[in-house]
Amino acid sequence: MLTTRDKWKIYKSVCITSFVIVIALMVLQKNIIASSSQLLEGDLSRSRQHSQDIIKTQKRNFFHKTNNFWKVEKPEESTKVVNEHHSRTWDVTSANCKANLNFTRMEWFSGLEATFKQFLLYRHCRYFPMTINHPEKCSGDIYLLIVIKSVITQHDRREVIRKTWGKQKEVDGKKIKTLFLLGAPSKEEERANHQKLLEYEDYIFGDILQWDFLDSFFNLTLKEVHFLKWFSTYCQDVQYIFKGDDDVFVSPDNILEFLQGNTEKNLFTGDVLYKAKPIRRKDNKYYIPLALYNKTHYPPYAGGGGFLMSSSLARKLFVVSESLDLYPIDDVFLGMCLEVLHITPTKHDGFKTFGIVKNKKSKMNREPCFFKNMLVVHKLLPAELTQMWNLVQSSLKCSNKVEIL
């Protein structure tokens, strides 16, 4: 028979054992809850991602089908580009660049306008990171790459170009592709809202290249050298390049007709200026101080409104451009590069970058029969460009054909 002492020992053992079991169960339950929570959270995350994908697809389909501002469907590009360009990438990822204050010690520098000063202070900053890139635009064989200088606020010009002469197409097996070149907004109020709109525009069309330098008149040369570097990096199978402004009329058919008979490997043709003199008047947009350029004449160069060049020459221009200081006038800078290569650009009467006639009020500058036979005419705003394009594409009957091709 158990004594009171024995009973107390048994009771104590049972209590301790029960307490240990309760503690073990609590720890086990906590682990189970934690595991379940992680699983549940993973499921919810996958579910949210799946929902977002569905919403994105619905948005994409919605925006493509509705009659909104950008109603052209985004063309599908080849997925092969990832493999084709994996070893060729834009290698500039930062722009840590300080001003060259040596210019501030020169007397002529103080009389320059603010944007000109900024150009000179940072002229040595050669390349900048890309904010929007489309290397796939150079995948496959491309006969003609149309490259257009634009700024963030001129979406209406880009829209009209896409619908008219800049439309991507294939003619007799020759592919034509289009790209727009942009820098960063120069005004503070444009940097948020306009940048968002640009990104959405690019989401629809996928035809914008943008770099992280300020878009300004004096940075047009930066845009030039950035494109030459981009082209040399990504474009291996392009034959010809047309490069122009976003306020020009272009006839791709006439360009193709001209190129059919081309045998020049170092082709560079346009509205060429010979023996142009640097402008020394400070109130002029193109003013150049004598200290910056002391020669009497510029080398021959094509007006930047529009010119045509071969891809082989574009690669040579890129190499040469790296050996020269940047010049504040982009088309003159290309003329300087051509001079180093001992190549003279060819003048073509079908390029009218100053209008068909210099008198801006002349009716000849709005005569569709003249436009029908031109390659490039500057300058037309969106409404004028649309009207002229429709007239030229209609069953227009002209008494005499101008022989320019």
Give the chain's mean pLDDT.
Answer: 83
Give 18's pLDDT tier (boundaries 50, 70, 90): low
Residue 329 lies in a domain: yes
Percent of the chain with pLDDT over 90: 67
Residue 77 lies in a domain: no
Residue 16 lies in a domain: no
> What is the model's pLDDT at position 69?
33
> What is the model's pLDDT at position 222?
96
Residue 139 lies in a domain: yes
Domain containing 301 — which CATH number? 3.90.550
Give 350's pLDDT tier (boundaries 50, 70, 90): very high
Percent of the chain with pLDDT over 70: 77
> What is the model's pLDDT at position 366?
85
**8-22, 199-213, 292-306, 344-358 — which is least confidently predicted?**
8-22
**How far apart, in whole angstroms, are the C-alpha atoms of residue 367 and residue 13?**
110
Residue 384 lies in a domain: no
The tokens describing 112, both together, are 């320059």
> What is the model's pLDDT at position 395?
87
> What is the model's pLDDT at position 46?
44
Residue 324 lies in a domain: yes
Give 356's pLDDT tier (boundaries 50, 70, 90): confident
Angle between helical axes of 220-234 and 330-340 (0-180°, round to 10): 50
pTM: 0.77
Q: Is the pLDDT of residue 9 over 80?
A: no
Supply the Cα-derived Rg of the chain in whole angstroms.
32
Give 34's pLDDT tier (boundaries 50, 70, 90): very low
> What is the model's pLDDT at position 8?
52
Specify the number of domains making up the chain.
1
Q: Is the pLDDT of residue 86 over 50?
A: no
Residue 140 lies in a domain: yes
> What is the model's pLDDT at position 77?
39
Domain of 135 in residue numbering reads as 88-349
Residue 227 lies in a domain: yes
- Maximum average pLDDT range among 56-60, 87-91, 175-179: 175-179
**How far apart, in whole angstroms, are the C-alpha atoms of residue 59 and residue 80?**
26
Higher-confidence position of 11 and 93: 93
Model confidence over 297-329: pLDDT tens digits?
999 999 989 999 999 999 999 999 999 999 999
Q: Is the pLDDT of residue 61 over 80?
A: no
Backbone angles phi, psi at 332, to 5 degrees: -65, -40
> What is the model's pLDDT at position 75?
39
